[in-house]
Amino acid sequence: MNELRMGIGVHSPITALLAEEAGADVLWLGSLEMSTSLGVPDREVLEPHQIAGIVRAIRAVTELPIYVDADTGRGSDELAVLATKLYEEAGADAICVEDNLFPKRNSLDDRFGGRELLAPDAFAARISAMVAARRSLKVIARTEALVAGHGADAAVDRLRCYATAGADALFAQANRASSDQLMSVVAEIAPLRPMVLAPTVLPDTDAETFAACGPVTVLFANVIMRSLVEGTSRILREVMSTRRLTSVSAELSSVERLFELTERISVAGRGPGSGARMSDGRQPDGAKASEQWAVPDVKAVADAPTDRERARSLMVEAAFDYCAGGAGDESGVRRNIDQLDAVMHVPRVLRDVSERSTAAELFGKRLAAPILVTPMGLQALCHPDAEVATATAAHSLGLGFTLSMFSSRPVEDVAPAAPGLWQQIYLLRQREVSWSMLRRAEEAGAGAVVVTVDVPVVGRRSRDARNRFSRFDAAPPAIVQDPSFLDLLGHRRRRTPSLTAADLVSEIFPDPTVSWEDLASLRSRTRLPLIVKGILNPTDAERAVGAGANAVQVSTHGGRQSDRHVASVDALPAVVSAVGGQVPVLFDSGVRNGAHIASALSLGASAVLVGRPVLWGLASGGQEGVAQVLASFVSDLGHAMDLLGAPVITDMSHQLTGSREQA
């Protein structure tokens, strides 16, 4: 007899315990089971951190293998790789991705028309990238060819292609219309590579029938949820109608049974922190002790000087280079940091700092410290939770957050995590898309608008050119779902059917014709505070204030636009002088620690925005990683204030800063 493994779909520790008790060999965290348990549709809307949390919770109570349904991998190779690393660290034993287009629709959802699949070679490349990124996690490649009506031959061809790409196991899915074709695919593929099946549409087929063809794991993917909904609904109706438990008592578990189930976590090898260890302390499948499925020590990661290198180890190389790189020879990136390092402080002594406070206020909103996250796009390249994690971390610490116009997640998703966030706007070639983004930000409760003005053209970034990295293809920005953008895309596709959303983004951004008149047009369209970002010249600062800016932001775009621009900190004093206190002057570029923030504040900045260190925290530990990075900045700033004799932020002034010649 060929090997047969039986799996049950679960969504929580208690359902995992019940599945284990019933004799399951594998636990399947299917998207339908998990989505339904959280009351959301099965359309790839669950946050990766939610899924990772479920994995961790289940891993804490069982040693059984956990297979995670990752749907399409969020529609890109880079995001699929990030999911691979995230779920492996959470304790999963296998990850399954399918060749549907993002966002996927459940295979059994026949309420709509046909579906479109990713090209086989493109999906094979995704599988290869995931295989290269994993340590010992198994990668399962699933085809929806039968569901899409392509037939058994197409399904077989796709699965063979995915096997060649390195998939450890292959998964063929069928719907009601194609159920009679599934067995022929299994007969062809099972002898080639272990298969995974969820024969929901073949309820009368004995699992042994599939195993006769080769090694097979048969998943009863949604039995628990379907039985829970049906049985619970019936019992609750009975209880509510009779107003007593008498008629349903025989169908209810005893409370002693609940005690018995939940107290099982005290056995050896289980419980929080046990990871994927067996009861004798060994790692499953011969994994090395250094490869335990332990949740990273986020504080240690954030505090370590190698935080950037940890981020590099967890990210796709080309994605890391995109985030870390700068324009030209990248001397502009280094100059920003070096010049901040060169600022020396001149402390005041014998000043009571026993009750020091870092609190500040901007546009009527109180901040725990004058620190905000600067706008950075495509944060899903660093972590699947992207801007939601970053915004949540910043808000939890009482700090500000700015959402990039090219964020991975839309403002409607991020704004609840950080009420009053700032929205970045670029003035695109098609202004209506910019105005649409502005309207949506206002409706979501944004507290300010940041218009970035230093990108007449995109800086030449050699790393991206070397890697042939197309940022909008690697991680599609949320702007591609903006209603105005979709209208424009539909109109353009009537003329150019092959036009992709990424192509259109690159067509409309940037716009080299943007002028001061366009800034005035933006000013007239919103009552929100308007920050003009990308100011280095004091004359431009004066003109921005005259055009109605409520603040100016001194910035070199982190050195990503030019390698020959003056460092931000060198431009700051002149801009502060030109503005003359009429509006706040904000600062970014090169900030790597709290001492840098203290320097910028003492040179006249009202607040400081932080960039790359936040990305490294996000990549290293998600929301907690960002929180640790930002918390360390606040702590460092407070320590610097103590040493400078500045008990409150308003005490930070130019008298605390010496010349660079003293450095």
- Which two three-digit tokens encode residue 621? 């530990």
Separation of CA 273 from chain center: 24
145 secondary structure, DSSP code: T
Three-state SS for 74-142 is CCCHHHHHHHHHHHHHHCCCEEEEECECCCCCCCCCCCCCCCCECCHHHHHHHHHHHHHHCCCCEEEEE
Contact assessment for residue 451 and residue 530, using Cβ atoms and an 8 Å cutoff: yes
Residues known to be catalytic: 557
- Which two three-digit tokens encode residue 65? 């293998």
345's CB contacts (< 8 A; 6+ apart) are 595, 598, 599, 602, 640, 643, 644, 656, 657, 658
> Alpha-carbon distance 513 to 500, whole Å?
24
Q: To 5 degrees, how large is the angle CA 126–CA 132–CA 133?
A: 90
- Which two three-digit tokens encode residue 131? 């295989």
Separation of CA 660 from chain center: 40
> Alpha-carbon distance 319 to 317, whole Å?
5
Cis peptide bond N-terminal to 510, omega within 30: yes
CA-to-CA dists, residue 96 to 53, 165, 174, angstroms: 17, 14, 16
Contact assessment for residue 568 and residue 332, using Cβ atoms and an 8 Å cutoff: no
424 secondary structure, DSSP code: E
Separation of CA 60 from chain center: 24
Contact assessment for residue 56 and residue 295, using Cβ atoms and an 8 Å cutoff: yes
CA-to-CA dists, residue 166 to 92, 124, 171, angstroms: 19, 8, 14
39's CB contacts (< 8 A; 6+ apart) are none
Q: How many residues does the structure list for the chain? A: 663
Contact assessment for residue 423 and residue 478, using Cβ atoms and an 8 Å cutoff: no
Three-state SS for 225-260 is HHHHHHHHHHHHHHHHHHCCCHHHHHHCCCHHHHHH
> Alpha-carbon distance 308 to 296, whole Å?
15
- Which two three-digit tokens encode residue 402? 């700015």
Strand extents, DSSP E, 4-93: 4-9, 26-29, 66-69
558 secondary structure, DSSP code: G
CA torsion angle 31 37 41 42 (round to 10): 10
Place of tokens 């004058």: 370
* Among 57, 132, 143, 42, CA closest to 92: 57
CA-to-CA dists, residue 152 to 107, 131, 188, 267, 660, angstroms: 16, 26, 10, 47, 72
Q: What is the sign of the dihedral through the CA atoms of 72, 75, 76 and 80? A: negative
- Which two three-digit tokens encode residue 202? 């073949």
Contact assessment for residue 449 and residue 528, using Cβ atoms and an 8 Å cutoff: yes
